[in-house]
Amino acid sequence: MLPSLLALAITTTLSACSHTEPNPSENTGQLAAGSYACDPVVAEKSDNLRIYQVMVESFVDGDPARGHGTGYGTSHHNGDLQGIIDSLDYIESLGMNAIWLTPIFDSVPVDGQDHWADRLDATGYFATNYFAIDPRFGTMEQARQLVEEAHARGLYVFFDGVFGHHKGNVMPSPQGRLPVGKSNPVSYPDSLPFYQEVATYWINELKIDGWRLDQAYQVPTDAWEVVRKRVDEASKAVTYTNNKGELVNPLGYMVAEIWNNENTITETGYGTDSRPALCSAFDFPVRYRVVETFAVNENAIGGKGGQWLDEGMRLHSLYPSHAKPNLMLGNHDLVRFGDLLQRGNIASPEQPEYWQRHKAAISFLAAYTGPVTLYYGDEIGDQLEGYAAKVKEDCAVRGLCDDHVARTSANIDGVTTSLSAEQADLKRYVTAVMSLRAKHPALYSGERVNVLANDSVYVDHKQAENEALIYMVSTTDQPETIALQQAEIGSKGTLVDLLTGEAFVADNGQYSIPLSGYAARFLHIVTPTAEGVVPREAAVVSLTGQGFLAQCDNPTVDEAGPVDDTLYVVGDFADAGWSHKSQRAYQYKGNNTYQVVVDEKAGAYRMQYATKSWSPQFTAEGLALTPGQAGKLVKGGYGKDTAVTLPEAGRYVWSLTFSDSGAPQQVMVSKCQ
């Protein structure tokens, strides 16, 4: 069990994520009548997934006769199935055990469509024929060869399922079915029979191992429950021979893309304990915390430490018990980690710190409980030469928008390029930590107990079965010696570094572990104690402030305040979704103070304080707010969101103060008494 949210340290800043908590009344631990539980075998095997993501059109051009020749991003746009087949040995060599292909179904051009539609066709995310391979990518036989050769190397294969929108000229299924309603989004439950057929057809036809689910929030959770059941049934009805010569069923894994916070991912993807919908979703919230710790996020916000990582991991307690978050560092819609390092003016490929920060971030993936995904190129520190700052003007035409700049041509060692010394060194590190992960259940399925989290280090105890490990990573560029107490980490013998072989012996009950800047260690506890690890006690912090700004019963006054138009607290709340909602409108309380009292769910949120026209808009200085403490209010703008974690559900008052002339002064959120 993860520690309660009540134990969270409060200093927060979650950028580019959003939230909606499950209804506690529904989390009974008992399945509702007629519901379909997550398959325990799939859940257990999915913990050890190490997925390599391929953006097909930008990956490798293996057949000069094929390719779209256009697309978003800066790649050659001629990627194809043969290029992936040619790269399977390389992917296997990284210690990965699965590949996810972006959509490869046929996207038939509409007569007279413009170049923007041609580019969308190349992504595959607006298909026409869900039961045929896009001939610009390859043939059905090449798709079959790809799956079979991947299976022969011990690699699962996941296709990309777009079950909520389409191109508008969809062809009937083999059973004569079609999606219903508008093209984006389609209507459910009317479209369910069509997409059930899609989901099971490719398992039967090619024996794929499951699906990545694009924009999964477009499909109702009750429909996902039905699709998941059909995928399970289809997977158990067919077999293939794996790399060990064993006859096995396709895995049947499904992972949702819901680019939001823990609460919204639960509401639109996981469902509840009593009514599970999907069983796995990408961990966008923790992904942002990882890049904000070891680089910066897409809005150039960074400088976080170990507490930031620990708080994000503790927020997993918002998920229902069947949830399997899947952590990634990047994907085809995000800026590459290497470009984020340069955006933050932190390090460039010419500097050792660029490569060490990559290793630190990837080590966190390797030590993460649950499935992980690595975007092609991250294993060699890929970046787009000359790209760092946000590009706004004509970014789509130039291939430099943040949401597709990572779609660069693949640099595959021995296939399309030879690696530099630095790239080869990072690749060796990725292979080492992913191979380590494969061998140690404590890493991929272990119970996480945080031992230490501060500005400069993050330390977890990981335990599964009879194995106990310590994972530690530096979150600073300074070397440090980390003191670990034997009794606290549940060790009565030697600690052995699984990467270097170094052994550490306690002196008077304490280990002293040297840790270089942005370095990581995986330490085997050779002789665990019967008592085990002692969970770290987090500081108890009051969520209720003092004074006028913390009072929830201040009367509204009938007089003009210093701000002319109505202000709203606008953010990623479950009841608002970045819309200006009446229940979040500030009222004037006198003393140049505006307040609104709202029932909030526990979770991490981001918001600004703005009029309906977004002019003016305000945010907290430092883009972070601690409940119960006043912060400085400053002018806001795009990407300048205030972040705050509310560890407890309850009634909160949001307060803003201004000078007589309307200049921003203070901001506070406080839990009502």
Please classify residue 384 by burial: count the beta carbons closer than 10 Å to its beta carbon, then call 0-12 exposed, 13-18 middle and 19+ buried.
Answer: buried
- Phi and psi based region of residue 411 (left: phi greater than 0; alpha: psi -120 to 50; beta: remaining): beta
DSSP reduced 3-state for 374: strand
Distance CA 407, CA 56 (A): 10
3-state secondary structure labels for all residues of 350-387: CCHHHHHHHHHHHHHHHCCCCCEEEECCHHHCCCCCCC
Helix H or strand E encompassing 328: strand 324-328
Which segments within 499-553 are labelled E, that is strand?
A: 503-504, 510-515, 520-525
Q: State how far Cα 24 lies from the chain centre.
A: 24
Provide the β-strand partners of residue 282.
326
Q: What architecture is the 548-671 domain classified under in CATH?
A: Sandwich (2.60)
Which pLDDT value is given to residue 586?
98
DSSP reduced 3-state for 229: helix
Residue 264 half-sphere exposure, CB side, CA atoms within 13 Å? 26
Distance CA 352, CA 375 (A): 22
Which pLDDT value is given to residue 538?
67
In DSSP notation, 541-576 reads: ------SGGG-S-PPP-SS--S-SSPPEEEES-TTT
Which pLDDT value is given to residue 11?
33
Other residues' Cβ atoms within 10 Å of the Cβ of residue 632:
11
Question: What is the gyration radius of the CA atoms in the chain, in angstroms?
Answer: 25
Residue 25 has pLDDT above 70, yes or no: no
Amino acid at 450: N
Check if the beta carbon of residue 151 is closer than 8 Å to that of residue 240: yes
DSSP strand pairing (247-248 vs 324-328): unpaired
DSSP strand pairing (495-497 vs 503-504): antiparallel
Distance CA 242, CA 150 (A): 9
Residue 137 has pLDDT above 60, yes or no: yes
pLDDT digits (tens, 9 = 90+) for 347-374: 999 999 999 999 999 999 999 999 999 9
Q: How far is CA 214 from CA 54, 165, 195, 563, in A?
A: 14, 9, 13, 42
Give the chain's length.
673
Distance CA 584, CA 598 (A): 7
**Which CATH superfamily does the domain covering 68-281 fall into?**
Glycosidases (3.20.20.80)
Domains 68-281 and 548-671 share a fold: no
For 363, the token pair is 């080590």
Q: What angle do CA 278, 282, 285 make, to 5 degrees?
A: 120
CA nearest to 327, candidates 380, 279, 365, 377 = 365
Other residues' Cβ atoms within 10 Å of the Cβ of residue 417:
13
DSSP reduced 3-state for 456: coil
**Which CATH superfamily does the domain covering 447-525 fall into?**
Golgi alpha-mannosidase II (2.60.40.1180)
| Phi and psi angles of residue 89, each rounded to the nearest 5 degrees, phi first | -60, -40
Residue 4 has pLDDT above 70, yes or no: no
pLDDT digits (tens, 9 = 90+) for 85-122: 999 999 999 999 999 999 999 999 999 999 999 999 99
| Phi and psi angles of residue 477, each rounded to the nearest 5 degrees, phi first | -90, 0
Distance CA 572, CA 263 (A): 10
pLDDT digits (tens, 9 = 90+) for 456-501: 999 999 999 889 999 999 999 999 999 999 999 999 999 999 999 9
DSSP strand pairing (650-658 vs 642-646): unpaired
77 pLDDT band, cuts 50/70/90, is: very high
Other residues' Cβ atoms within 10 Å of the Cβ of residue 172:
12
Residue 18 has pLDDT above 70, yes or no: no
Residue 99 contacts by C-beta under 8 Å, 6 or more apart in sequence?
Answer: 51, 52, 53, 54, 84, 88, 91, 150, 155, 156, 157, 158
Q: Report the largest interatomic distance among the alpha carbons of the chain, rounded to a whole angstrom.
A: 80
Mean of pLDDT values over 181-194: 95
Residue 266 half-sphere exposure, CB side, CA atoms within 13 Å? 27
* In the chain, where the domains are located: 68-281, 447-525, 548-671
For 259, the token pair is 């680019």
Is the preceding peptide bond at 135 cis, omega within 30 degrees of 0? no
29 pLDDT band, cuts 50/70/90, is: low
CA nearest to 440, candidates 469, 416, 411 = 469
Distance CA 604, CA 619 (A): 16
576 pLDDT band, cuts 50/70/90, is: confident
Other residues' Cβ atoms within 10 Å of the Cβ of residue 19:
29
Distance CA 84, CA 81 (A): 5
- Phi and psi based region of residue 577 (left: phi greater than 0; alpha: psi -120 to 50; beta: remaining): left
Q: State how far Cα 21 lies from the chain centre.
A: 17
Long-range contacts of 578-586 (CB under 8 A, 24+ apart): 580/610, 580/612, 584/654, 586/654, 586/656
Residue 497 contacts by C-beta under 8 Å, 6 or more apart in sequence?
Answer: 503, 504, 521, 522, 523, 524
pLDDT digits (tens, 9 = 90+) for 618-637: 999 999 999 999 999 999 99
Which pLDDT value is given to residue 535?
85
Mean of pLDDT values over 187-215: 98
Helix H or strand E encompassing 422: helix 421-439
Which pLDDT value is given to residue 1?
30
Residue labelled with tokens 């509401």: 267
Mean of pLDDT values over 543-572: 95
Residue 308 contacts by C-beta under 8 Å, 6 or more apart in sequence?
Answer: 11, 12, 13, 289, 292, 293
Mean of pLDDT values over 231-260: 97
Residue 512 contacts by C-beta under 8 Å, 6 or more apart in sequence?
Answer: 481, 482, 483, 504
Computed over every residue of the chain, the mean pLDDT equals: 93
Mean of pLDDT values over 340-352: 97
Which pLDDT value is given to residue 12?
31
Which pLDDT value is given to residue 91?
98
CA nearest to 267, candidates 227, 231, 216 = 216
Of the ranges 24-33, 162-171, 213-222, which one carries the lowest mean pLDDT score? 24-33
Is the preceding peptide bond at 189 cis, omega within 30 degrees of 0? yes
Residue 381 contacts by C-beta under 8 Å, 6 or more apart in sequence?
Answer: 337, 338, 349, 354, 355, 358, 422, 423, 426
Which pLDDT value is given to residue 360?
98
Distance CA 151, CA 241 (A): 7
Which pLDDT value is given to residue 293?
98
